[in-house]
Structure 1
């Protein structure tokens, strides 16, 4: 992306770990639905794995990959999530969140491609009002995900693997916020 090299690599490590965790959950979850929400959980795991690994790749190689590749990688899933949200009421908010995330990644890739020269410490890429709106969205999402991680139905701290999906969502929100902040 556009920040200092150390920050880019730390962001890449953080989001790659979250993406790999989501990919592992997807791979090891049973194929037969264990409940009405199991297919939605698998869809969410797949989307979060794509986003985590994609954010890691974008943080490291960024403008080294053509914008059309990034647009295809994130634009197609964004379209699929928007269509799924329009046609299926179950999980609509979650699908819309994944669509916003994928569209934000597409937006960042296109903004990087449109900026001339090297992207280190470059301010003002993209459209400031849109970047600000996305920062507000992902900042709020991160605060919400963090508060959900700290609370359980019993009012205690979520520990162990029970809080892992929420921790991955928190990590992705932090990663997206950091990437947008460097624009």
Structure 2
């Protein structure tokens, strides 16, 4: 994405670290958690690659088209799986946002952003969605007193709900940052 180099590198590190943690989550014994973690790992690494500052490496137009194809396929898969799990609706929105950003970058490789015409409607809708998602995810991380039925249970790294929620929050914040610099 286009913007200052330092925040761009911070986005790269945040997204790559989130993608790496999602790979760890894929070791969960629960199949649905592995599937969700795989999609989130793809999203994290894809966002890291897209966030590399343009001053360092400006991808050729075909790279943006490849991003569009990969995340378009991801969006179709998320649409298909959304019928059984509402969480996949968020994956659909994330994949759509990636397709949109890659499409904008493929269509306008010579200039940064949308010009002086203001925020386009799609960008505005995505900004509103991800702002709401980040706020909701942040609230869900607030500590609550909860009783665990059956005593305590040791959870593996792939099954820690607070870590996976923090992962989703990080990617939501990164998506907001990328949309703002679009």
Q: Which category describes the TM-score, using the shorter chain as reference length?
A: 0.7 to 0.9
Query: Retained in 2: the 8 A contact 1:123–1:182?
Result: no
Partner of 1:107: 100
User: Given the superposition, is the C-alpha separation of residues 147 and 127 from structure 1 closer, same or farther in structure 2, using an over 3 Å criterion?
Assistant: same
Gaps of 5+ in 2: 148-156
What does 1:80-91 align with in structure 2 at a 5 Å threshold?
Answer: 80-86=77-83, 88=84, 91=85
Query: Retained in 1: the 8 A contact 2:67–2:99?
Result: yes
Aligned residues: 165
Query: Retained in 1: the 8 A contact 2:75–2:96?
Result: yes
Gaps of 5+ in 1: 31-37, 156-160
User: Given the superposition, is the C-alpha separation of residues 79 and 129 from structure 1 closer, same or farther in structure 2, using an over 3 Å criterion?
Assistant: same
- TM-score, structure 2 normalization: 0.82
User: Superposition RMSD on alpha carbons, in Å?
Assistant: 2.3
What does 1:1-183 align with in structure 2 at a 5 Å threshold?
Answer: 1-26=1-26, 28-30=27-29, 38-60=30-52, 64-65=59-60, 66=62, 67-86=64-83, 88=84, 91=85, 93-119=86-112, 122-124=113-115, 128-154=120-146, 162=160, 163-183=162-182
- TM-score, structure 1 normalization: 0.81
Query: Retained in 2: the 8 A contact 1:78–1:98?
Result: yes
